[in-house]
Structure 1
Amino acid sequence: MSSTPRLPSAGASVSAPEYHANPTWKSKNEAQQVDYPSAEAFQSVMAKIGRLPGLVSPNEIDRLRTQLASVAEGNAFLLQTGDCAELFDYCNPEQIQAKLKLSLLMSLILIWGARKPVVRIGRIAGQYAKPRSKPTEIITKVDPATGEATKHEIISFRGDNINAFSAEPASGRIPDPERLLQAYFHSAATLNHIRSELASGLADLHAPRQWSFQHVQSSALQAEFESVVDSLTDALDFMKTIGADTSTFSSSSVLNSVDYFISHEGLSLAYEEALTRLVRKPTADKPSPARNVHASDLASGALDNETLERYDLSAHTIWLGDRTRQLDGAHVDFFSSIRNPVGIKVGPSMKPQELIDILDILNPDVPIPAAATAARASGWTTPSGAPEVVYGKEKGRVMVIIRLGAAKVATHLPPLLEAIAASNHKDSIILLCDPMHGNTQTSPYPPASSDPNAQPLKTRSFGDIISEILAFLQIISSDFPTLHLGGVHLELTGDKDVTECFGGSMRLDPKDLERGYKSHCDPRLNFEQSLDVAFLLSHYFRNQRLGKRAGATASSDEEIKKQQAIIASGSGDELLAELICGITNRPQSA
């Protein structure tokens, strides 16, 4: 990409250093803006963060961009997982390791079924902000002396980096800019532990049984995982015998380490801007590695002829929320100015043309290296008089994270996919299914707690989650052969004994939710339900892969109607039961 970002606001483009010195997003309306009591205190904190090192490196971001290009081409699968909203208290070794292990387990299961690399992105080390539909909420307080209950209006909880979750004292809900500084250091500590765990062999495929599977209740799923591990161990023994397993001689190998990238919703633009740096990029005539540019470099004029680009070093990738994607808004402007891969949350209110307009802003035509154009015959443009220069969309630059809900996916998804398939973005974007956000409901059972402030629990049906994923897959495969599912975006936890969503192979009932309801935000899949999703997807991709290889005939009309009926009913647990039955009865030779 050139040093001239194409920005949505400017009629004429500006250079990266010029935009960096005077970012135009600050002149636009910023949705979900936080009102701090002291503007001076807020600016002081932003100045401190601006002087701190980035949390990630430009080279790591570029490595993710390369892997996401492979996802866009259909040669890899993206698994994005983590908490709805992190709390600072989650920054402890046990919980960080639990999330890592669950991601590794899920990716191993997916790799075995799909035979594709899995790109792992965590909603972690920065997912502290929480968008809200209302600035205030009503709580009930009981006078301990009289027992009289009164209602009070207080500021809504906006995430641990803005204010406190506890409603007592009410002053804790007043936005405090120092919390953004705490968010930086908690993110840094979390990321440091992730890196140390991976460097210490947590991801070593030679010891997959260390990734705890013991509290999974389904004996069929336990047996399936054991068969995966046995096959993997046998393959590694063979590789070691013939000398192909380099881990015997080296501590750095794809077999004992993985990439794990971090992400969060880019809600607080001042925080994101404070961690955005100008980066000198290598070119053919100046191949030195990428590095951050400092103010002294610019002042000296030594970089006047260099290619400089903006990287947000708060995370490897950030996403636009469904409430912050206004075409003329500050968030879209900021996202268009950075080189990180970015995501867009797409809900039922998104119109097809609106989505294409956002994609045009976030992923304009850019110069494409000649080597990258050889494998694609269409979709490129050549400027008049410059036949050696080819322009097109950067593959994997944008992840479209679709969150519709099981009840709406059949009606709302096809128009969106039709617009994408007809656009010049069709082979550059990554389609992600987020089956969580559109399926939130209130538990039919009132809270058992005697606390007068207790509210009905938010929950999600595992059946709805699975039905949305499978409906997504079915619609793409039957009606949009030029597109493919690039991955899934899931809210989950690696913590044990969590009961926030009902259903799954453990047959969790809505009455059981309060037994282990720990979320301070939205309900998450627990450990076993997360593996249920991984096995269902792995099973789907395995059948697809082996069916194509064997030239198998298509499913019968009766089988198709049965699956469609299960999807339409939202009873994904029946599909899971079918899977477990199929695993149990599968011939060993398969």
Structure 2
Amino acid sequence: MTAPGEILHTGAAEYPGLDTWRSLTLAQQPDWRSHEDFDAAYQQLSDNPPLVFAGEVDRLKRRLAAVAQGEAFLLQGGDCAEVFDEITADRISGKIKTILQMAVVLTYGASVPVVKMGRMAGQYAKPRSSDEETRDGVTLPSFRGDIVNQYEFTEEARIPDPKRMLTGYNKSAATLNLIRAFTEGGFADLRAVQQWNKGFMDNPAHAQYQQLAGEVERAVKFMHAAGVSSDSLKRTEFYVGHEGLLLDYERALTRIDSRTGAPYVTSGHFIWIGERTRELDGAHVDYLSRVRNPIGIKLGPSTTPETALQLIDKIDPEREPGRLTFITRFGASKIRDGLPPVVEAVRDAGHQPVWVTDPMHGNNINSANGYKTRRFDDIMDEVRGFFEVHKAAGTYPGGVHVEMTGDDVAECIGGSDPIDESAFDDRYESLVDPRLNHKQSLELAFLLAESLKGVK
């Protein structure tokens, strides 16, 4: 934990109260305020153009308001931590392709629009359980993500470097450029996406999903035959979000909207607060309560009903539709007991946030050969528990938030075409947390589609 320090530059945005966070407890930050390059890097970042725009952010908030009302469903997926060297056209297109494939299946299952969002173009920083890491008697600063330092276990690599924020900005700009080109230029054509899903179905391991896949294909053909607008088939909205962990970066990229005079974080459309930084009197909650983006908050097993209600009052005092998303991450073994009191308290108080399940972070285990992993069955069990809790409470299960990739990695155990620990040595690529691979992600979508039928 690092105490707030003085920053000479306040960035492009001047707004009453926006810098109150500087006097509050600031958790999970690198110790780099005294670095010789900090002021110059911060000032350059403050002078850079926004990565996203207020109009896009407001549009997402309207889409999330529909999710809260049970009229849409949110799908958010992407890397646990983006790696600078992996920001390539092939990897970006692979993730987008997988999310689009999942969205087609979920749209059919839910019979409502699916809001598509990537954990992309900004998910570079990660919270750590300790500020330091020790190997073979050598102690160095922990790896906090590519935007802060490097993964290699050397003294030079682990020094927090504020210039890496500028690299993160440039990588995000390149990613967003490609996302916009793909989703507006025909890559997202619904008919092409359905053809991609045929490749998944060619695997005999996925035969159990044949009926649903056939129904989706017939629906797509019907829309085409009925003359549904070609533009609506070929283009799609796609948003990006990340954990607003590194407040120096978020503050430098905050801008004042010329239309409303309100502050927006322009590093991404959607910003969430993690389980380790959601203290009511902490810097993260204070800062993100003052910007106009839709805000997510991770809720884990330690969450009490009182805490959830206090967070609502802090982040969404005006009860603005689409403003607040609760992302629950209890773990498969705890969700059925831990989540109901929280959901019921929020419901009984008359609040209507977006409810999303993160079935990944509460289900970490260590494999026998030393890798951090997750069981596909545990992930699905938490998803089922999430739906069961909301069905019993009469509330709407509004979305899923998963760590996934479009690549053929081996990081999570199980699935119909199963991954086991023996594949980790050759195909485990994540630097932090394990992700679902392309096939496992699609399988989750098919299973989730069945759960969504008849929800509303």
- Please indicate the TM-score interval, normalised by the length of the shorter structure: over 0.9
Give runs of aligned pairs for residues 330-341 of structure 1, distance below 5 A. 330-341=283-294
Shift of 1:19: 1.7
1:19 aligns with 2:16: yes
Q: 1: distance between equivalents of 2:376 and 2:76?
A: 18
Q: 1: distance between equivalents of 2:215 and 2:187?
A: 18
Asked if the contact 1:56/1:314 (under 8 Å) is kept, the reply is: yes
The 3-state SS of whatever aligns with 1:206 is helix
Matching residue's letter, 1:265: E
- Matched with 2:301 is 348
**Alignment equivalent of 1:267, drawn from 228, 241, 245:** 245
Matching residue's letter, 1:321: G
TM-score between the two structures when normalised by the length of structure 1: 0.72
- Matched with 1:460 is 374
Q: Which has the higher contact order (CA 8 A, sep 6+)?
A: 2
**Deviations, residues 379-410 of structure 1 (Å, cap 9, x unaligned):** xxxxxxxxxxxxxx111111100000011112
**Alignment equivalent of 2:310, drawn from 357, 371, 375:** 357
Give runs of aligned pairs for residues 78-477 of structure 1, distance below 5 A. 78-140=74-136, 151-167=137-153, 169-211=154-196, 213-214=198-199, 217=203, 218-220=205-207, 223-224=210-211, 226-228=213-215, 230-240=217-227, 245-247=228-230, 253-281=231-259, 307-365=260-318, 393-425=319-351, 427=352, 429-443=353-367, 445-446=368-369, 456-477=370-391
Q: 1: distance between equivalents of 2:78 and 2:208?
A: 22
**Deviations, residues 218-237 of structure 1 (Å, cap 9, x unaligned):** 24157346514531343134
Q: 1: distance between equivalents of 2:249 and 2:316?
A: 23
Q: 1: distance between equivalents of 2:135 and 2:189?
A: 48
Shift of 1:55: 0.2
Rate the CA distance shift 1:353–1:239 in 2: closer, same or farther, 3 A: same
Rate the CA distance shift 1:220–1:544 in 2: closer, same or farther, 3 A: farther
Q: 2: distance between equivalents of 1:79 and 1:417?
A: 20
Q: 2: distance between equivalents of 1:529 and 1:468?
A: 15
Rate the CA distance shift 1:494–1:225 in 2: closer, same or farther, 3 A: farther
Asked if the contact 2:375/2:414 (under 8 Å) is kept, the reply is: yes
Asked if the contact 1:493/1:525 (under 8 Å) is kept, the reply is: yes
Rate the CA distance shift 1:102–1:221 in 2: closer, same or farther, 3 A: farther
**Alignment equivalent of 2:73, drawn from 48, 68, 77:** 77
Q: 2: distance between equivalents of 1:112 and 1:544?
A: 13
- Matched with 1:486 is 398
Shift of 1:214: 2.3
Matching residue's letter, 1:310: P
**Deviations, residues 92-115 of structure 1 (Å, cap 9, x unaligned):** 010000000000000000011111
Rate the CA distance shift 1:348–1:40 in 2: closer, same or farther, 3 A: same
- Matched with 2:6 is none
The 3-state SS of whatever aligns with 2:320 is coil
- Matched with 1:30 is 26
- Matched with 1:549 is none
Q: 2: distance between equivalents of 1:209 and 1:108?
A: 7
- Matched with 1:42 is 38
Shift of 1:330: 0.7
Rate the CA distance shift 1:27–1:528 in 2: closer, same or farther, 3 A: same
Asked if the contact 2:206/2:416 (under 8 Å) is kept, the reply is: no
Give RMSD over aligned pairs.
Answer: 1.8
Aligned residues: 442
Q: 1: distance between equivalents of 2:33 and 2:343?
A: 44
- Matched with 2:441 is 530
Matching residue's letter, 1:46: Y
**Deviations, residues 451-499 of structure 1 (Å, cap 9, x unaligned):** xxxxx10000111111111111112212x11x11010110011112x11
Rate the CA distance shift 1:472–1:536 in 2: closer, same or farther, 3 A: same
Shift of 1:238: 2.4
Matching residue's letter, 1:239: A
Q: Percent identity?
A: 43
**Deviations, residues 311-344 of structure 1 (Å, cap 9, x unaligned):** 1100001100111111111111111110000000
**Deviations, residues 415-434 of structure 1 (Å, cap 9, x unaligned):** 11121112232x2x001111
Stretches of structure 1 that go unaligned for 5 or more consecutive residues are 1-15, 141-150, 248-252, 282-306, 366-392, 447-455, 546-590
TM-score between the two structures when normalised by the length of structure 2: 0.93
